[in-house]
Structure 1
Amino acid sequence: MGWTDFYRRRDALDAVLRAAAGNPAAPLTCDRDLFADEAELLLALHYRWMQQLTGRLGAALQDSEDDRVEVVTRTWRALAAEQPVLRAVLDEHLTSTEAVEREQRLLALTAGLAELSEPSATISRVGAAFAALIRTGPAVASPVRHRGLAKSA
């Protein structure tokens, strides 16, 4: 794909999200010159989500000493708040089990809830449970830090 195609696809994805802003559950408009079908369009939208999530998770983990579960939860929620239409469109339309499980595995592994040595299905299952908690659970409280206090012997 050349730069012209890249920009055309980016602009088409932006147009889909603008159109879906009023009703993310409505049928999506797919530019057939750029995407073979709605499934391919949704995978491109999911790729956009995953690029942003992965980058933010890496930065957040590097910049924080908080618990990894808390960092992942906070980062996912912040991105969902910044990209509500993208997240809502994916939640309403994405049916690719492979794409959903890819995100679930990312969440589980990044939060330290699973290990790469575990079976992929197990990691996905843990990630699915964690994703459900991220979406519906209470806010994660920041732990109290006691820096500079003398340690007892």
Structure 2
Amino acid sequence: MSWSDFRRRRDIMDSAVAEAVRAGSTTDGRIPFDRIDGARDLFGTEEQLLLALHQRWHQILTGHLRAEGAGPEDVTAAPGRENTEDSDQVDAVSRAWRRAVSLNRDLHAVVNANVERVPALRLAQDAELRLLAVTSGLAAPHEPEDEVIAVGATLVALLRHRDVSGTKPSGGSATSGDGAIGQWPRRLAPSA
């Protein structure tokens, strides 16, 4: 891919997000694919464009995870270990996720709005949820996939709830940051 192609793809993805937000499509999941110049030529289908947008989101999220020192390679403790290292890892993942979302709200909204209707995007999001669960230390890679996904989904749901309501989950010890959040995904995930 040439630099020209790279820039063109980037511009089309930017246009797709902007058009989806402008059209209010972050609620119903559709991006106005046919109205975006060059989208069909470079991406072929709406699904391929959405997968490229998810890839962009994934790169942003993993960059924030690494900046917080919360890359998957940094997890050294088994989940459930009661010490400050576990809550520090949950705090780092929480900060990274919230920062990535706050700086890329529209991209995140467009990707999330399409997850339920595009099966390939659902698989990509499941991988993201596994990454968050394992990286936070709330789940281990060898655990059943559906349980790890449930833990990751619960963590994200708690982070979203906190962002919307401004409240923290109650219970457990009150620590600075999100320490109490680390105790909740295992309690709330249906199969955990």
Alignment of 1:1-153 (within 5 A): 1-22=1-22, 23=24, 24-25=26-27, 27-30=30-33, 31-61=39-69, 67-94=88-115, 95=118, 96-137=121-162, 138-139=167-168, 142=176
Give the distance between the partners of 2:44 and 2:146, measured in 1 at CA: 29
Identity %: 41
How far residue 139 of structure 1 moved from its aligned partner, in angstroms, is 4.8
Structure-2 separation of matches of 1:58 and 1:139: 24
AA of the residue aligned to 2:152: G
Output the CA distance in 1 between the equivalents of 2:53 and 2:149.
20
1:113 partner SS? coil
The structural deviation recorded for 1:122 is 2.4
Contact 2:16 2:31 in 1 (8 A): yes
- Asked if the contact 2:64–2:99 (Cα under 8 Å) also holds between the matched residues in 1, the reply is no
Question: Mind listing any 5+ residue stretches in structure 2 that lack a counterpart?
Answer: 34-38, 71-84, 170-174, 178-192
1:142 alignment partner AA = S
Which moves more between the two structures, 53-62 or 101-110?
53-62
Q: Residue 118 of structure 1: SS of its match in structure 2? A: coil
Cα shift readout 1:78-109 (whole Å, capped 9, x = no counterpart):
21111111111112123322111011011101
Q: Given that residues 25 and 93 in structure 1 are in contact (C-alpha distance below 8 angstroms), is that contact kept between their aligned partners in structure 2?
A: no
Task: Return the letter of the residue paired with 1:125.
Answer: A
Distance 2:27 2:155 in 1: 24
Deviation at 1:3, TM superposition (A): 2.7
Moved more, 106-115 or 20-29: 20-29
TM-score (norm 1): 0.81
